[in-house]
Amino acid sequence: GAGELKDGVTGGPSKRSRPAPSLPTEASLYAGPFPFYRRPSELGCFSLDAERRYHGDSRALRYFAPPPAHGSAPDFDLREGYPERYRPRNEEIREGLDHLLRWLLEHRGQLEGGPGWLAGAVVTWRGHLTKLLTTPYELREGWQLAASRLQGTLYLSEVETPAARAQRLTRPPLLRELMYMGYKFEQYMCADTPGGSPDPSGEVNTNVAFCSVFRSRLGTHPLLFSGEVDCIDPKAPSTQPPACYVELKTSKEMHSPGQWKSFYRHKLLKWWAQSFLPGVPRVVAGFRDPEGSVRSFRTFPTMEMFELIRSDREGWNPSVCMNFCAAFLSFAQSTVTQDDPRLVHLFSWEPGGPVTVSVHHGAPYAFLPTWYVEAVTQ
Ligand code: A3P
Ligand code: MG
Ligand code: MG
């Protein structure tokens, strides 16, 4: 590219080192038309049980069961059961892409898209892509993504930053309770069977998850990613995933236009990015009072979220998010040229700076498990 010419490197060994490549993240650089994004389709799913064991089925899928729309105002106490009926997942266990790789190993023979589709794809978690989408607007939390290429496919797996780890280990009790409250809301809003009623008397076990596996394409980049789905709406007009899926969220009750504006600028961006990627059409939010009780609901159609911020000069723009993500994927594809499951290019970003790259071999950064590498290379 132009960078190489400017540096005067004409190929072959050179005493002058190339400037390390990096990717800028300023939002103004990524304005422009919305890029191509293939309508996401569901390739399959898997479930994780109360002991975090993998099952190649939908047993952990729950059914959207909101209270009657015209009944009395809701009064869901989100702190009820805390901490005695809380079984939080052990966050010390680094799962990487393992569950998704297990699904992929069991289904790679039946993947659509024709021969070689997987070899040209990027495989990752939806949550990692969400972080990429919001990067041009993120002012607080950086990220690190490890990348390895195996048989053509580029795998991306997040690495917890030292700052994120320190925050997790010193998480204040109030923040722990707030996390519980998000999951408790799901328990109030979901039933175990279609048409059933929620049972808020059980424990809140965050080992349990229903994950859907999606296929899409951003620009020239075929994508295979998995993400947790909160519930399916048995009454949705379309029974076809992801159109029938509902994302549940909680947030503080708002009382002034200024509070709404700030909510649209910051939280709604994250909600949009998370649900737009898999094509989940609706986010149902419960707004809690200072005591932690949900007092009202509001449904946000994913495709209408941008309208709420469009006129705000300091707001976000979906095109910027998607163009940046496409630029990152191009950057990663051109940086990781060697096919080697032990080789890791670590992409690091801190707010205010560009995405930078460092190269590592083997532990602790290598993330493709031996059982996966051996199975796909025979
Ligand atoms: P809320 O987002 O309603 O607070 P999700 O909304 O993605 O389905 O996640 C369910 C809940 O997990 C969240 O509910 C929140 O309680 C917790 N959670 C998810 N991501 C989190 C994060 N990055 N930090 C803290 N809690 C998180
Ligand atoms: Mg969820
Ligand atoms: Mg949710």
pLDDT tens digits, 231-260? 999 999 999 999 999 999 999 999 999 999
Average pLDDT, stretch 88-100? 98
Residue 268 CA, ligand 1 centroid: distance in Å: 13
Residue that is written with structure tokens 């009395």 in the block: 72
C-alpha 194/C-alpha 64 separation (Å) is 8
Residue 1 pLDDT greater than 60, yes or no = no
Residue 120 CA, ligand 3 centroid: distance in Å: 31
pLDDT digits (tens, 9 = 90+) for 307-322: 999 999 999 999 999 9
Residue 373 CA, ligand 1 centroid: distance in Å: 32
User: Residue 153: CB partners within 8 Å, gap ≥ 6?
Assistant: 118, 119, 120, 121, 122, 123
C-alpha angle 194-207-281 in degrees, rounded to nearest 5 = 45
C-alpha 47/C-alpha 63 separation (Å) is 15
Reported residue count of the chain is 378
Residue 127 CB less than 6 A away from ligand 1: no
Residue 182 CB less than 6 A away from ligand 1: yes
> Distance of CA 79 to CAs 104, 168, 170, 184, 198, Å?
38, 21, 21, 8, 16
Residue 230 CB less than 6 A away from ligand 1: yes
Q: Which residues surround ligand 2, an ion (CB under 5 A)?
A: 228, 230
149-162 as b/e: b if 16+ CB within 10 A:
bbeebbbbbbbebe
Protein residue whose Cα sits closest to atom 11 of ligand 1: 182
Q: Confidence band (pLDDT; 50, 70, 90) for 7?
A: very low
C-alpha 249/C-alpha 271 separation (Å) is 8
Amino acid occupying residue 178: L
Q: Confidence band (pLDDT; 50, 70, 90) for 19?
A: confident
Protein residue whose Cα sits closest to atom 19 of ligand 1: 179
Residue 230 pLDDT greater than 90, yes or no = yes
178-188 as b/e: b if 16+ CB within 10 A:
bebbbbbbbbb
Residue 8 pLDDT greater than 60, yes or no = no
Protein residue whose Cα sits closest to atom 6 of ligand 1: 249
| Ligand with minimal distance to 247 CA | 3
User: Residue 239: CB partners within 8 Å, gap ≥ 6?
Assistant: none
Choice among 8-22, 50-64, 331-345 with the minimum mean pLDDT: 8-22
C-alpha 294/C-alpha 301 separation (Å) is 20
Q: What is the ipTM of this complex?
A: 0.98
Residue 367 CB less than 6 A away from ligand 1: no
Output the six-digit token pair for 357: 């790259």
Output the six-digit token pair for 65: 């069961």
How many other β-carbons are positioned within 10 Å of the β-carbon of residue 79?
Answer: 15
Residue 5 pLDDT greater than 60, yes or no = no
pLDDT digits (tens, 9 = 90+) for 136-173: 999 999 999 999 999 999 999 999 999 999 999 999 99
User: Residue 84: CB partners within 8 Å, gap ≥ 6?
Assistant: none
Give the ligand 1 atom nearest the CA of 180: 16
pLDDT digits (tens, 9 = 90+) for 179-219: 999 999 999 999 999 999 999 999 999 999 999 999 999 99
Of 43, 23, 24, nearest in space to 222 by CA? 43
Residue 122 CA, ligand 1 centroid: distance in Å: 25
Residues 7 and 17: beta-carbon distance below 8 Å: no
User: Residue 229: CB partners within 8 Å, gap ≥ 6?
Assistant: 45, 61, 210, 211, 212, 242, 245, 247, 278, 280
Predicted TM-score (pTM) of the model is 0.96
Give the ligand 1 atom nearest the CA of 175: 25
Residues 194 and 234: beta-carbon distance below 8 Å: yes
Residue 210 CA, ligand 3 centroid: distance in Å: 12
Residue 64 pLDDT greater than 90, yes or no = yes
Residue 250 CA, ligand 2 centroid: distance in Å: 11
Average pLDDT, stretch 117-131? 98
